[in-house]
Chain A
């Protein structure tokens, strides 16, 4: 299993490059990539420069374009085409019309189906495979037992999974409009229902690590760290991912893996909380 890390800027990029990421992905301002706070790389030439630096170290570089709207369709297609022609290794995509357009233009690169797509079974995977994808980021809410046929597909499609203990959307990420009310993410906040506070149901950290162990055992190829507006948080996430992956690679049994992962997760949590208090 390798680690793929999402970089918002040069600082993130060089950190991941120097600290062991096998793949890095990034976004370009103006091409929607489903990360609403903070900024991404400003120009295509910046991403191409990043790709060159990444390749010098044997690291692959991807671009994300996984939330396109009608008005940005043409610029997205032309930008992806130029970026692929000039050296990026692939694109993370969700939209069918973009996939079709790129297929029609015979653009050959690695197309990674975003976890935002509703791909929950092997036949939907085949549908997207026919449209040209060669890898899938498994939706966060798909259980390992449900994902078996996707992971062990016979289509040559490799798989990715997010470090969900740290990056888990309580609701389906690509279909969330809850921030419309306050401009903030509220899915983990208590909602008032009558006189009670109610939380939207979600798995706990133990369950997340249990799932990760199962995905690893099944053969998922890539552990993914998303882009984050706060560089400090993103780096800690990356360190956590490295530590967790080291545990998995040690051949540890599931029970001990969960226990030790929770310890690591707790330590990272303490560091994060200290950072918040200092502010």
Chain B
């Protein structure tokens, strides 16, 4: 099972040699917020430090952001064709399949929620047809629906399990196309009314925290925040 680390751009400089040895893949960007997309410089820096694989996460996008991110991703893929794209947008999928058909693509959360509920053979047909090689998930209870051998990889995110997603930013209180990304590195615990359960506000989304992870995934992505 492969090990990956999800990190914010600003933390790239804090990576140690032992991190680069321990984790074979590094995730940048966000599956949940279109404003958190890494710079080309960050990708170059990570590659220069010796990261074996780099995965760029992209959430669902409005038109203006899709236009912007297509340009940035094209630039990244031209320089680093092996960068994986973890995508949450079918418009971006169409673009990549047209212009970068050999790019390695995975379906991001929460888009993957629909895929995790598909019947295995239908899912495999869809993924092969659309040149998608992996699915990102945090739903350990559903991994058993896709026993090996399978025609795709299942990448499991740990320890945060997705519960809800907003477009209005928890920190800004509104929807915006650009921001200063003050949320990076922050998580805010919120107690569920009338219970002792805690969810965490991270980017635009809300998560619970798990203490264990399942067998059956091809890659585990650790989120250090």
Which A residues have a C-beta under 8 Å from some C-beta of B?
Answer: 68-70, 73, 94-97, 100-101, 118-128, 141-143, 146, 148-149, 170-172, 175-178, 180-182, 186-187, 189-193, 198, 200-203
Q: What CA separation (Å) do A192 and B173 show in the bound complex?
A: 17
> In chain A, what residue has the closest Cβ to B114?
A95
Neighbouring A residues of B192 by C-beta, 8 Å: 178, 181-182, 186, 191
CB atoms of B193 and A186 under 8 A apart? yes
Q: What CA separation (Å) do A190 and B194 show in the bound complex?
A: 10
Q: What CA separation (Å) do A143 and B118 show in the bound complex?
A: 30
Q: List 22 A-B contacts (CB under 8 A).
A: A73-B118, A95-B118, A121-B62, A123-B90, A123-B92, A124-B94, A127-B93, A127-B94, A141-B175, A146-B63, A146-B64, A172-B164, A172-B166, A175-B164, A175-B165, A176-B164, A178-B192, A178-B206, A192-B190, A193-B189, A200-B166, A201-B169
CB atoms of B117 and A70 under 8 A apart? yes
Q: Which of A125, A176, A193 contacts B188 (CB 8 A)?
A: A193
With known contacts A69-B117, A170-B166, A177-B162, A122–B91 Cβ distance under 8 A? yes
> In chain B, what residue has the closest Cβ to A130?
B94
Q: Which of A120, A149, A177 contacts B61 (CB 8 A)?
A: A120
> In chain A, what residue has the closest Cβ to B117?
A69
- What 19 new A-B contacts, CB under 8 Å, besides A118-B88, A178-B192? A95-B114, A100-B126, A120-B62, A123-B66, A124-B91, A125-B91, A127-B94, A142-B62, A172-B110, A178-B163, A182-B194, A186-B192, A186-B193, A191-B193, A192-B190, A192-B191, A201-B172, A201-B173, A203-B168
Neighbouring B residues of A69 by C-beta, 8 Å: 117
B195 within 8 A of A: yes
B122 within 8 A of A: yes
In the assembled complex, how far is the CB of residue B61 from the closest CB belonging to chain A, in whole angstroms?
6
CB atoms of B188 and A124 under 8 A apart? no
B95 within 8 A of A: yes
Which B residues have a C-beta under 8 Å from some C-beta of A?
Answer: 60-66, 88-95, 110-111, 113-114, 117-119, 122-123, 126, 145, 162-170, 172-175, 188-195, 197, 199, 206
Neighbouring B residues of A101 by C-beta, 8 Å: 122
In the assembled complex, how far is the CB of residue B62 from the closest CB belonging to chain A, in whole angstroms?
4
CB atoms of B195 and A181 under 8 A apart? yes
CB atoms of A193 and B191 under 8 A apart? yes
Neighbouring A residues of B126 by C-beta, 8 Å: 96-97, 100
With known contacts A118-B60, A178-B164, A97–B90 Cβ distance under 8 A? no
With known contacts A96-B114, A141-B167, A121–B89 Cβ distance under 8 A? yes
Q: Which of B60, B61, B165, B173 contacts A171 (CB 8 A)?
A: B165
In the assembled complex, how far is the CB of residue A242 from the closest CB belonging to chain B, in whole angstroms?
29
In the assembled complex, how far is the CB of residue B75 from the closest CB belonging to chain A, in whole angstroms?
19
Q: What CA separation (Å) do A201 and B165 show in the bound complex?
A: 11
